[in-house]
């Protein structure tokens, strides 16, 4: 018998109870530096927009070139600049009639007719490359960046393996970034989703503008028996979550969630695993198994993902004990990334 889904089309975040119509403000991952060769042009879609993302040719100030993200459709007659567009210096030439657009999105040249250029532009998005990751800035009101994405000391340290391309993964998920971010104050789920033997207690809660650090430790069940784990968790906005495990074999995981549209986000994971032997060049079996376990923890079918992809957002959750305090604290911190007023009532709310 074939199986039929009765769930119909994918619900939007608002239909799932999320009270903000605008995408959150902040830095969001869109890839890894090493994946963009010089002159490479890619089509991507985030924040409900089609984008063209490319790396410029080497420049005096940027010998490796820099990554540029523009709205995808040429202002002239609407060609998608990623499908056949070519990089010239820091500019992109449209495949349709050859108009040239600079890294700020301005028309730089028209190769025919009676004018050299026109006063027209396509939007250029703020981009950063930090510690081997590529980030895009999104602000609901179009304002420029007011903080920077995180620098990862592991990326410069010779006692960690570089994670690209063996300890990374990206995949669209049917969820809003806030769903993942709310794991920060949620210690009870560590017991039920992540196999911790007991619900841990928070030893540090530190808010610093767009950065929130939450530490806790406890005992986790592994196939080889119980292991004590201490974790440092740092959120940079609601789209970037860093988890540092300092006991046993050290590893650092950056989980990132970038809205694609009103139903999906792209999930990214990057895992820096410490070397047991500093001279080691290639990740050994243990390092690979740690990276694989971390990927599984985020993308596996029985992990957080199973909950997030089917979850309904509770604007007023039922909380017990310490949950109330931490959930309230987290939501009040994360409110800064949603500058618009809360919707009066989520669409199709059943609460």
The residues of the shown chain that bind ligand FES, judged by CB under 6 A, are 74, 76-79, 94, 96-97, 99
Q: Are 304 and 186 in contact (CB under 8 A)?
A: no
Nearer to ligand FES, 97 or 194 (CB): 97
Nearer to Fe ion, 129 or 304 (CB): 304
Least distance (Å) from Fe ion to the CB of residue 194? 6
Least distance (Å) from ligand FES to the CB of residue 81? 7
97 binds, among ligand FES, Fe ion, none (CB under 5 to 8 A by kind): ligand FES
Measured over all CA atoms, what is the biggest interatomic distance in the chain, rounded to whole angstroms? 76
Burial of 341 (0-12, 13-18, 19+ CB in 10 A): exposed
Burial of 78 (0-12, 13-18, 19+ CB in 10 A): exposed
Q: Are 152 and 135 in contact (CB under 8 A)?
A: no
Q: Which residue in this structure is represented by tokens 């033997």?
A: 197
Least distance (Å) from ligand FES to the CB of residue 38? 23
Q: Give Cα 58 distance to the centre of its chain.
A: 27
Nearer to ligand FES, 66 or 93 (CB): 93
Nearer to ligand FES, 51 or 290 (CB): 51
Least distance (Å) from ligand FES to the CB of residue 78? 6
Q: Are 171 and 267 in contact (CB under 8 A)?
A: yes
Least distance (Å) from Fe ion to the CB of residue 304? 4
322 binds, among ligand FES, Fe ion, none (CB under 5 to 8 A by kind): none
Nearer to ligand FES, 85 or 150 (CB): 85
11 binds, among ligand FES, Fe ion, none (CB under 5 to 8 A by kind): none
94 binds, among ligand FES, Fe ion, none (CB under 5 to 8 A by kind): ligand FES
**Would you tell me which residues interact with Fe ion (CB under 5 A)?**
183, 304
Nearer to Fe ion, 139 or 188 (CB): 188
Q: Are 187 and 170 in contact (CB under 8 A)?
A: no
Question: What angle (nearest 5°) sits at the alpha carbon of residue 193, between those of residues 189 and 196?
Answer: 80
183 binds, among Fe ion, ligand FES, none (CB under 5 to 8 A by kind): Fe ion
74 binds, among ligand FES, Fe ion, none (CB under 5 to 8 A by kind): ligand FES
Q: Are 228 and 217 in contact (CB under 8 A)?
A: yes
Nearer to ligand FES, 30 or 100 (CB): 100
Least distance (Å) from ligand FES to the CB of residue 98? 6
What number of other Cβ atoms are within 10 A of residue 72's Cβ?
22
304 binds, among Fe ion, ligand FES, none (CB under 5 to 8 A by kind): Fe ion
Measured distance CA(161)–CA(288) in Å, rounded = 10
What number of other Cβ atoms are within 10 A of residue 199's Cβ?
17
Closest alpha carbon to 25 in 137, 175, 193, 153: 137
């Amino acid at each position: 018998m074939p199986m039929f889904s009765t769930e119909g089309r994918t619900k939007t975040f608002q239909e799932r109870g999320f009270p903000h119509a605008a995408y959150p403000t902040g830095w969001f991952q869109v890839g890894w530096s090493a994946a963009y060769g010089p002159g490479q042009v890619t089509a991507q879609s985030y924040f409900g927009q089609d984008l063209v993302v490319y790396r410029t040719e080497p420049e005096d100030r940027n010998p490796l070139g820099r990554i540029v993200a523009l709205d995808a459709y040429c202002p002239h007659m609407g060609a998608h600049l990623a499908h056949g567009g070519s990089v010239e210096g820091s500019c992109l030439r449209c495949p349709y009639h050859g108009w040239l657009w600079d890294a700020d999105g301005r028309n730089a040249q028209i190769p025919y007719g009676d004018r050299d250029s026109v006063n027209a532009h396509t939007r250029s998005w703020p981009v950063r490359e930090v510690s081997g990751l590529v980030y895009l800035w999104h602000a609901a009101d179009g304002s420029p960046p007011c903080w920077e994405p995180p620098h990862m000391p592991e990326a410069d340290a010779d006692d960690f393996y570089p994670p690209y391309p063996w300890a990374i993964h990206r995949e669209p998920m049917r969820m809003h970034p806030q769903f993942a971010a709310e794991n920060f104050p949620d210690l009870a789920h560590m017991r039920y989703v992540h196999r911790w033997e007991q619900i841990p207690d928070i030893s540090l809660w530190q808010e610093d503008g767009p950065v929130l650090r939450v530490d806790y430790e406890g005992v986790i069940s592994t196939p080889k028996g119980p292991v004590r784990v201490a974790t440092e968790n740092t959120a940079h906005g609601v789209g970037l979550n860093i988890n540092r495990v300092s006991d046993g074999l050290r590893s650092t995981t950056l989980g990132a969630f970038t809205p694609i549209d009103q139903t999906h986000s792209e999930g990214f994971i990057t895992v820096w695993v410490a070397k047991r032997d500093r001279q080691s060049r290639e990740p050994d079996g243990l390092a690979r198994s740690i990276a694989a376990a971390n990927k599984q923890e985020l993308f596996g079918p029985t992990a957080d993902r199973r909950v997030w992809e089917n979850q309904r957002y509770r604007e007023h959750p039922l909380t017990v004990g310490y949950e109330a305090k931490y959930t309230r604290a987290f939501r009040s911190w994360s409110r800064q990334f949603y500058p618009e007023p809360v919707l009066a009532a989520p669409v199709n709310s059943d609460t």
